[in-house]
Chain A
Amino acid sequence: DAKTTQPTSMDCAEGRAANLPCNHSTISGNEYVYWYRQIHSQGPQYIIHGLKNNETNEMASLIITEDRKSSTLILPHATLRDTAVYYCIVSASGGSNYKLTFGKGTLLTVNP
C-alpha cells in the first residue's frame, strides 16, 4: 500500500467546516483513497472513499486533486461528536487487495 501523510492534530470550531488534508504522492493508478475515523474507545468507522472523482455522502465530502497526489476530507458542519482520529488510507480494492493499513491519523478536536 502507498504511504500517506497526515497532520498529527487539528482543531475546528463547532458548526464550521473541518478540512482534513492527506498527502499520498506515491499512489498507484488502481488505488483508492479511503477515510475512516475512530472515536475514543470505539472501533474505526468507514466514512467515504474515492478513486479520481470527488465524492459526497451523508457524512462528508472527499476532494481528490487531479494528479491524485493529495486529498481533503471535508466535514461541512462539524459537531462535538466529530472529535475523533481520522485515518486516510490508500489501497487497491477487490481481489487479493483486502488489507487496510492504518497509520496514526489526524486527531481532530471540535471545540464549542
Chain B
Amino acid sequence: GAGVSQSPSNKVTEKGKDVELRCDPISGHTALYWYRQRLGQGLEFLIYFQGNSAPDKSGLPSDRFSAERTGESVSTLTIQRTQQEDSAVYLCASSWTGQTHGYTFGSGTRLTVV
C-alpha cells in the first residue's frame, strides 16, 4: 500500500479483556516497529521485527504483551488481560532494514481500557 495502515483506529475495551492491534506495513519494507505513546508523553519502543523474526523485544512491558509478524508483512500486537495503564496510542512503523531515516509511521490505534 501507499502507507502504513493500522486497525482499528480506536478501540475501547473493558479491563481484563484481550485486544489485538493490526499493522499493515509498506509493501517490501523488511523492518517493522511497534511503539506506545501515553497521553502527553514521548514514544516508547516496544518491539522490532526483521522479516518475521523479532530480534529485539526489550520494550514489551510485561508478558501480557506479545507480537507476531507473518509473511514479512502484517503484524499483530496482542495485549492480554488489559489494564487501565495499557491505555495509549499504539504506533507501528516500517522501513527498509537499517534505514532509520526511512521510518514511515501509521496513524496509530488509540486504545482505551475502561
Which A positions have Cβ atoms within 8 angstroms of B? Answer: 32, 34, 36, 41-46, 49, 87, 91, 93-95, 97-105
Query: Is B99 close to A, CB under 8 A?
Result: yes
* Cβ of A94 to closest chain B Cβ, rounded Å: 4
Q: Given A32-B101, A94-B98, are A43 and B48 neighbors across the interface (CB < 8 Å)?
A: no
Query: Is B93 close to A, CB under 8 A?
Result: yes
Best-buried of A42, A49, A98, A99 by chain B (most CB within 10 Å) = A98
Q: Is the CB of B97 within 8 A of A104?
A: no
Q: Given A43-B91, A105-B42, are A100 and B99 neighbors across the interface (CB < 8 Å)?
A: no
Q: Is the CB of A102 within 8 A of B43?
A: yes
B4: chain A residues within 8 A (beta carbon): 43
CA distance A105 to B99 in the complex (A): 21
CA distance A108 to B23 in the complex (A): 29
Q: Mark B16-58, 1 if CB is under 8 A from A, else 0.
A: 0000000000000001010100000111010010100000100
* Cβ of A92 to closest chain B Cβ, rounded Å: 8
Which B positions have Cβ atoms within 8 angstroms of A? Answer: 4, 31, 33, 35, 41-43, 45, 48, 50, 56, 91, 93, 97-108
Q: Is the CB of A103 within 8 A of B42?
A: yes
What is the number of contacts between chain A and chain B, taking CB atoms within 8 Å? Answer: 62
Name A92's closest neighbour in chain B (CB-CB): B100
* Further contacts, 10 of them, CB under 8 A, given A32-B100, A43-B93, A104-B41: A36-B103, A42-B105, A43-B91, A43-B106, A43-B107, A44-B105, A98-B50, A98-B98, A99-B33, A102-B42
Q: Is the CB of A98 within 8 A of B101?
A: no
What would 21 A/B residue contacts be, using CB atoms closer than 8 Å? Answer: A34-B101, A36-B103, A42-B108, A43-B106, A43-B108, A44-B103, A45-B105, A46-B101, A46-B102, A87-B42, A93-B98, A93-B101, A95-B98, A97-B100, A98-B56, A98-B97, A100-B45, A100-B103, A102-B42, A103-B42, A105-B42
B106: chain A residues within 8 A (beta carbon): 43
